[in-house]
A and B are shown apart, each in its own frame.
Chain A
Amino acid sequence: MDIAQNILLTIMTAATPLLIAAIGELVVERSGVLNLGVEGMMVIGAVCGFAATALSGSPWIGILAAVGAGAVFSLLFGVLTLSLAANQVATGLSLTLLGLGLSGMIGEAFVGSAGIKLASIQIPGLTEIPLVGRLVFGQDPIFYFSLILTGGVAWFLFRTRAGLTLRAIGDNHASAHALGINVLKIRYLAVMFGGACAGLAGAHLSLVYTPQWVENMTAGRGWIALALVVFASWRPWRVLGGAYLFGAVSIGQLHAQALGFGIPSQFLSALPYVATIVVLVIISRDRRLTLMNTPASLGQPFVPDR
């Protein structure tokens, strides 16, 4: 039965960075901004987190560095698309390319050096409980934070005034402007929140998942996070479901490959993507609900007239 617990643990660990990055992007997109640079911000977070940890010896300083680096890096996107009203798709794509290149340069000195893993929580007496102890009481701090983050964002979006304002801007930025809401300021904050989350997701990769630095170590997870946001109809708890489903199928297919059922490995490797998309498409088949949750001004630049 310990095997089951181990498999569940690896699934949760695999899902956590996707969840954090996707929740950050969800907030960005709810404000009407499409930032395709998640992959780039994530990899910058991964390398900065690893480097700061290696230099300071503390993974906590590494996490702070990753969050800060992600936010600062997203600010570049913010200045270009919000203040200068550049095309969001093109800017986001270049942000990813820039992030991948820049992270390779920063990380060159750290390739192959031993990483420091962020310690998992240990609560004497509770963590040792059979079957569920390590799942509930023995994981890394970022995992717990990711759940708080999901709940917090859901509460913020649908229960607070500030969340309502954010959704309103995403729905119709011209009307929001006419009501006196500072559209660009709130979009800047949302973009930086998304950057900080992507940075944290990157730090989870280089400090928890595989505590080392390898070039391009995000391996497309930023893109998965982006897809999760859309297929989850911009709803936080669905993002969580999607991230865990993706994690489960990708870990499951690894085990299936190891056991060798005679299923082509290419098919198994593709399975997580197919399964996640199919399931999320099925649950978002209610068109009305999807339309209600789609930010109508997504990707459109806003230039206030004065």
Chain B
Amino acid sequence: MPNQHSETPLLETRGLTKVFGSLRACDGIDLAIAPGEVHALLGENGAGKSTLVKMLFGVLDPSGGEILWKGNPVGIGSPAEARRTGIGMVFQHFSLFEALTVAENIALALDGNVPIDRISEEARRLSVEYGLPLDPSAHVADLSVGERQRIEIVRALLQNPELIILDEPTSVLTPQEADKLFETLAKLKAEGRSVLYISHRLEEVQRICDRATVLRHGKVTGACNPREETPSSLARMMVGSEVASVSYAGAQEPGDVLVEVRSLSAPARTPFAVALRDIDLTVRAGEVIAIAGVAGNGQSELFDVLSGEVTVSDAESVRFAGMDAGRKGITERRLMGCSFVPEERHGHAAVPNMNLSGNLVLSRYASDRKTFLTGGWLSLINQGPVSAATRRISAQMDVRKSLEDPPAGSLSGGNLQKFIVGRELDRQPRVLVVNQPTWGVDAGAASRIRQALVDLAKSGSAVIVISQDLDEVFEIASRISVINEGRLSMPEPAASMTRERIGLLMGGFHDGSGHAQAEAVDAH
């Protein structure tokens, strides 16, 4: 540490600035990354982190300031130049091509004419070595968010960079996968490479990062050694105020059964999808059930079957508040008092090019017909109540936006997610099913969303949260279940659940024998 200042930084920025119109997204950023250092970049959504790394990777041209590589000023005009310089990047919003295979996606980011077969081989080898299993011949369209992120990581590693920039790499990984990634990072560090690590997870930053630079509103608000700070002091630097911790009343008396899933099976719809096998789940009023699991184990398939995006032939295998729903579509299930928040914000939970009020009408026109529509069979949109509801939801969830009613796609990830969750909560659903409620969302927004989910359950609704974030699972769940290869474990009370047990269930140790095996493993 003492000689860090005498050493020439691998990468340094001086007064780096990017202006979009009147917005100063980055305003005079000074940053220095030493060789072999894991450097954290902290900040809320919209703090300017993504803009900063896009300039470092040559995707955006800086409006002012300079970038120095090993002490020499460089102009990074394109990602290809960045790669030649020795900078690799894992994007937050994946730069993947859905219609192409994993190997083809990787090949596109590599220079030169390496044959696809060799890339497949290399990718398979690297992905196993770094604990990020991938099938090079799978099409990206069939992969889950978590698997897509693995492609990004392996793709960056294949380029053998001196500096690797990771934008929120662990948000969809299991603890075990994240540990593997940290081993990878430690290995990269030992090889003398540097890492610029962007994360909202403060514990993680403290665990693996040597230094941290904190951004707020496009400016550097602090530089520190994260190990000498506490999570709350880091959060304060980031947010400028304390982050409220979620309060969960815990064991309260569960009420009526609101969700009943009985022997639910569904075949895989594509060669790469997961079949659901014999799923049983009962959720009572006042409960938050969390479904943990590694990405790609049937989470999206389970969500689709619960939401009615995919119907099943056995009407009685899914029941809401005592009504058969297996064959019912999404709108009919919404009319039963259920609400759903899918994983993908853009294009699934919201139409990016439509404004917020339009997105509100799209999801609630049937359930709130009397409020939002007028003119009888003409079904005209009643703009007054729609605008009022949009304002109410935005205020309730603290959605920050520049216009009164902006297009959904112009909001940052966290703000859009707050709006989407708020849109469903606003109608006080009896049953809420959420998939990955806080993926890629900053700490402040995430705690607000979690609190809202807990409050909904307290008010007497049943909440199902599908999440790969174990911190989140433990923070809000009353009972926890684990999905593995399309099978769901028996939900267990959160109080008696441990991370080790979840890890075992994720690995496929099920029910009855599970305890015995868990003990057997613990005994080692």
Contact = CB atoms under 8 A, between A and B. Distances in A.
Contacts of B98: 171-172, 296
A126 to B, nearest CB: 38
B243 interface: no
A177 B95 CA distance: 9
B270 A164 contact: no
A83 interface: no
Interface stretch (B100-108, B337-345, B474-482, B501-509): B100-108
A164 B270 CA distance: 24
A301 to B, nearest CB: 13
B257 interface: no
A171 B141 CA distance: 11
Interface in B87-122: 91, 94-100, 104, 107-109, 113, 116
B79 A178 contact: yes
A168 B100 contact: yes
> Which size bracket describes the interface of A in this complex?
20 to 34
Nearest to B82: A180
Contact of A175 (B81, B96, B141, B270): B96
Interface string B75-88: 00011111100000
A179 B108 contact: yes
A187 to B, nearest CB: 16
Contacts of A294: 99
A111 interface: no
A288 B98 CA distance: 12
Interface string A156-185: 000001001101100110111111110000
A175 B104 CA distance: 13
Contacts of B80: 180
B61 interface: yes
A181 B108 contact: yes
A159 to B, nearest CB: 9
A179 B109 contact: yes
What does DSSP make chain A's interface, helix, strand, loop or mixed? helix
Interface in B144-186: none
B411 interface: no
Interface string A284-295: 000010011111
Nearest to B114: A161
B246 interface: no
B139 interface: yes
Q: Which of A172, A174, A294, A296 is most buried by chain B, counting CB atoms within 10 A of its CB?
A: A172
A293 to B, nearest CB: 7
A185 to B, nearest CB: 12
Q: Which of A175, A181, A291, A305 is most buried by chain B, counting CB atoms within 10 A of its CB?
A: A175
Contacts of B107: 161, 164
A292 B139 CA distance: 9
A180 B99 contact: no
B108 A288 contact: no
A178 B94 CA distance: 10
Q: Which of A168, A172, A174, A179 is most buried by chain B, counting CB atoms within 10 A of its CB?
A: A179
A164 B108 contact: yes
B58 interface: yes
Nearest to A159: B116
B58 A291 contact: no
A305 B60 contact: yes
B95 A164 contact: no
A180 B95 contact: no
B366 interface: no
A167 B100 contact: yes
Contacts of A288: 270
Given A178-B91, A180-B80, A180-B83, A306 B61 contact: yes
Contacts of B141: 291-292
B78 A180 contact: yes
A164 B99 contact: no
Contacts of B83: 180
B321 to A, nearest CB: 34
A180 B79 contact: yes
Contact of A172 (B60, B97, B113, B116): B97
Q: Which of A178, A291, A305 is most buried by chain B, counting CB atoms within 10 A of its CB?
A: A178
B59 interface: yes
Contacts of A171: 97-100
Contacts of B109: 179
B261 to A, nearest CB: 28
Q: Which of A167, A171, A306 is most buried by chain B, counting CB atoms within 10 A of its CB?
A: A171
Nearest to B271: A288
B99 A292 contact: yes
Contact of B99 (A165, A181, A293): A293
A176 B80 CA distance: 11
Instruction: Pick the 6 closest A-B CB pairs, nearest first.
Output: A180-B79, A175-B95, A180-B80, A178-B95, A171-B97, A171-B99
26 contacts: A161-B107, A161-B113, A164-B100, A164-B104, A164-B107, A164-B108, A167-B99, A168-B97, A168-B100, A168-B108, A171-B97, A172-B95, A174-B95, A175-B97, A177-B59, A178-B91, A179-B95, A179-B109, A180-B58, A180-B80, A180-B81, A181-B108, A288-B270, A296-B98, A305-B60, A306-B61
